[in-house]
Amino acid sequence: MYRTLSIRQKQIAWAWAFLALPVVFYVVIRFYPTANAMVISFQDWNLLGERSWAGLANYQKLWADPAFWQVFRNTFVYLILGTPISLVISFAVAYHLDKTRFMHGFLRLLYFLPFMTSAVAMAWVWRWFYQPVPIGLFNNLLADIGIPQVQFLRSTTNALPAILAPAVWAGLGFQIIIFMAGLRAIPQSYYEAARIDGVSGWTVLFEITLPLLRPTIVFLVVFSSIGFLRIFDQVFNMTTNDPGGPLNSTKPLVLLIYQSAFTDFDMGYAAAQTVVLFLILLLVSLFQLYLLRDR
Amino acid sequence: MATAGDIRASSDTLFAGAARPRRANFGQILRWALLFAGGVLMVMPIVYMISTSLKWPHEIYDVSLIPNEPHLENYTYVLEDGRFYGWFINSLIIATITTISNVLFDSLVGYTLCKFRFPGRYIVFIAILSTLMIPTEMLVIPWYLMSQQFGWLDTYWGIMFPGLMTAFGTFLMKQFFETVPDDFIEAARIDGLNELQIWWTVAMPLVKPALAALAIFVFLGNWTAFIWPLIVTNSWDMYTLPVGLSTFADEADVAWELVMTGAAISTIPTLIVFLIFQRFIIRGVVMAGLKG
């Protein structure tokens, strides 16, 4: 039968033969679960009992839950602190590393190495750093130079930045590498023209380098924003004794989802939270498309 | 071959050292010194992790980087416990199978979407693209229910199935197959190769750098994956390395030298692989980051 097909028909047959299994995969493992999560968000279900329709009850509960707003706020604090700090540091390093020739590869290696580590392992290393004297490295160093102790993970104000630090640290290497690729892509002629015109270094930076890096910056802002909005590994591992604590001060949305679903078994409520996360991430992605459109 | 060469050439020039040589002056030296100091700070957590894993319990209070009497007792202790071997093997099996699956299927789908014209092509393209917008966290609850229903909880398949194909990988590969000239494929067709043979013997070898980049990303992602393995496994012998480490470290509590040893065991393999293939991996990361 295959022989009687025209060349074009054979092509179509091959294409769908190649796509058959992947299409099944995407439908069963991606689309069906997405729809399912949305459906569950309108249901009341504790995993064991009956599923019953709850209408908007889960969303109303979310709206009225002070713990949710605390978590919502925390999630955005991770984003608002994490993204600018990591981008400024990585740009500064990339900008100067780009102009350094001596042992360039070695320096790049040092900055990139943390990106290859596992977030869970490093969360425990940083957790050790943050312990009070006589255990934690940071407090021991502070004690050595005579500065009073800092409560890192036990303080409701310091714990969130303390947990954010390893997340920023681990992501810097990637951002530096991407920034350097972006810097290399800027044609030399712009800089030469600026030099001939006698433009100062800062003006070159703000008038040439940064505007031409716009696509790179937009990509990194969105990429790192999505990463911080989904922070989980570091928080979970650095606060295992009281996940998201102290007093929920470090709990991000994904941890709340995890607890609602797999500690409280309130599946409908957890699903409603995932829908909220989905909408937030969707807005961030649409924002990226909007920013890149007018080029 | 020309195209694969082009890709390599362009990323080579991208990283062929600094572009603007200048004579060393005070500013240059200061810049280098600051960059070096920053770089040393960056690797400090890793260095401290390894250093502490070589210390005796009474020494961990000491901030000095070099252990007084370095020893490997912690490693013997942690490994004799036996669980780490299992977790290591689990992670290795899962990351390897997932990587192979992604390399095969993502490139097959990317190739099909790039080189075939067929009804439904656009819909499949948009459908796969749209899954990039769906966060994993939204899917874990349905995946869990699915696993529970089909008895996939606490199995390798249960840990692996969500990541067997990725939209990210598919688009990365599609981008790279654009660089394979249609003439090559036509020529192979005239030579009597079937479409599967063309994909495997003609197109795939031309995108090897991209396949390697994809493999690195998928492997590292699965080696360090935490939330899904945490949810889907519930007996310790099925844990992956991150989940195992998390529970182990929580048990070990104040024995920080053992926690650091566990952390080192799960980090050192990827660091070694990175140190061996450094240039190659950085190039792959840039490729994946900019094209994906």
B188-208 residue pLDDT tens: 988 888 889 999 999 999 998
State the nearest Cα–Cα gap between B116 and chain A, in angstroms: 7
Residue B1 to chain A, least CA–CA distance (Å)? 24
Pick from A14, A111, A122: which is nearest to B45 by CB? A122
For A108, residues 6+ apart whose C-beta sits below 8 A from its C-beta are A97, A176, A177, A180, B282
Q: Which of B35, B166, B228 to mutate to test the interface with A (most CBs of A within 10 A)?
A: B35
SS3 label, residue A46? coil
Whether A119 and B35 lie within 8 Å, measured CB to CB: no
B 253-282 near A (Cβ less than 8 A): 254, 256, 259-260, 262-264, 266-267, 270-271, 274-275, 278-279, 281-282
Q: Using the Cα atoms of residue A68, residue B247, residue A127 and residue B265 in order, give the sign of their dihedral.
A: negative
The Cα–Cα gap between B91 and A120 comes to: 14
Closest partner CB to B246 (pick from A21, A96, A237): A237
DSSP A93-149: HHHHHHT--TTHHHHHHHHHGGGGS-HHHHHHHHHHHTSPTTT-HHHHHHHHTTPPP
Instruction: Return d(Cα B22, Cα A234) in angstroms, integer.
Output: 42
User: How many CB atoms within 10 Å of residue A88?
Assistant: 10
Instruction: Nearest by CB to B19, from A184, A254, A281: name it.
Output: A184
Q: Which of A18, A12, A7, A8 is nearest to B118 (CA)?
A: A12
Residue B212 has pLDDT above 50, yes or no: yes
> How many other β-carbons are positioned within 10 Å of the β-carbon of residue A31?
14
Pairwise CB contact (< 8 Å): A30 & B131: yes
Residue in A12, A108, A281 closest to B118 by CB: A12
The C-alpha atoms of residue B91 and residue B219 are separated, in whole angstroms, by 10
Half-sphere exposure at residue B166, Cβ-oriented, CA atoms within 13 angstroms? 21
**How deeply is A70 buried, as exposed, middle or buried, from its count of CB atoms within 10 A (0-12, 13-18, 19+)?**
middle
**Average pLDDT over every residue of A258-274:** 92
- The pLDDT of residue A288: 78
Q: Which backbone phi and psi does A47 adopt, to 5 degrees?
A: 80, -35
Please give the distance of CA B99 from its chain centroid, rounded to a whole number. 9
- Count Cβ neighbours within 10 Å for each residue of A259-283 and write b for 16 or more, e otherwise: bbbbeeebbbbbbbbbbbbbebbee
Range with lowest mean pLDDT among A213-222, B9-18, B33-42, B258-267: B9-18
B190 in contact with chain A, both atoms CB, cutoff 8 A: no
Q: Which of A124, A127, A131, A266 is the best mutation test for B, with the most CBs of B within 10 A?
A: A124
Tokens (6 digits) for B100: 């192979």
Gap from B195 CA to chain A (nearest CA, Å): 7
Look at B274 and A144 and tell me if their CB atoms are within 8 Å.
no
Write the Ramachandran bin of B10: left for phi over 0, alpha for psi from -120 to 50, otherwise beta: alpha
Cα separation, A244 vs A236, whole angstroms:
7
- Quick check: B165 and A275 CB within 8 A? no
Chain B residues lying within 8 Å of A19, measured CB to CB:
109, 112, 124
- Which residue of A lies nearest to B292 if distances are taken between CA atoms? A219
Cβ distance of A119 and B144 shorter than 8 Å:
no
Mean pLDDT of chain A: 89
Coil, helix or strand at residue A170: helix
Q: What is the mean pLDDT of residues B217-245?
A: 92
> Which of A66-70, A91-95, A151-155 bottoms out in mean pLDDT, i.e. has the lowest?
A151-155
CA distance B14 to B259: 40
Name B37's Cβ contacts closer than 8 Å, sequence gap at least 6: none
| Residue that the structure tokens 């996940």 belong to | A243
Sign of the C-alpha dihedral, residues A199, A202, A208, A211? negative
Candidate from B17, B28, B139 with C-beta closest to A37: B139
Q: How far apart are CA A231 and CA A252, in angstroms?
A: 7
Mapped onto helix, strand or coil, the DSSP state of residue A220 is: helix
- A44, β-bridge pairs: A52
Whether B224 sits inside 8 A of A120 (CB atoms) is yes
Confidence of residue A29 (pLDDT cuts 50, 70, 90): very high
* Pairwise CB contact (< 8 Å): A181 & B286: yes
pLDDT for res B100: 96
The CA angle A123-A129-A133, to the nearest 5 degrees, is: 145
Lowest mean pLDDT, pick from A30-44, B49-63, B133-147: B49-63
Stretch A213-232: mean pLDDT = 90
Q: How far apart are CA B161 and CA B98, in angstroms?
A: 8
User: Could you tell me which residue, B14 or A220, shows the higher pLDDT?
Assistant: A220
Residues of A in contact with B32 (CB under 8 A): 100, 102-103
Specify the pLDDT at position B16: 47
Give the pLDDT score at B128: 92
Q: Can you list the alpha helix ranges (DSSP code H) found in chain A?
A: 7-25, 32-40, 57-64, 66-98, 104-112, 119-129, 137-144, 159-184, 188-196, 201-204, 210-212, 214-229, 233-238, 253-262, 267-293
Q: Quick one: what percent of chain A has pLDDT higher than 90?
A: 52
**C-alpha distances in angstroms, A98 versus A178, A193, B121, B171?**
12, 19, 42, 29
Query: Would you state the structure tokens that stand for residue B149, as one six-digit string?
Result: 């229903």
Report which of A254, A223, A224, A263 is spatially closest to residue A236, judged by C-alpha positions: A254
Residue range A158-185, pLDDT digits in tens: 999 999 999 999 999 999 999 999 998 8
pLDDT digits 0-9 by tens, A117-151: 999 999 999 999 998 877 888 888 888 888 888 88
Q: Give the nearest chain B residue to A169 (CA atoms).
A: B42
Would you call A262 and B39 a contact, using CB atoms and an 8 Å cutoff?
no
Q: How confident is the model at residue B24, as a pLDDT?
A: 61
**Which structure tokens are listed for B212?**
């390697």
Q: What is the pLDDT of residues B1-56, one digit of tens each?
A: 333 433 434 444 444 444 455 556 888 888 999 999 999 999 999 999 999 888 88
Least confident interval from A43-52, A97-106, B163-172, B258-267: A43-52
Range with the lowest mean pLDDT among A7-16, A74-83, A229-238? A7-16
B138 interface with A at CB cutoff 8 Å: yes
Q: How far apart are CA A27 and CA A33, in angstroms?
A: 9
Put simply, the chain B residues between 61 and 90 with a CB less than 8 A from any chain A CB are 61, 63
Give the rounded distance of the alpha carbon of B243 from its chain centre.
Answer: 17
**% of chain B residues with pLDDT over 90:** 45
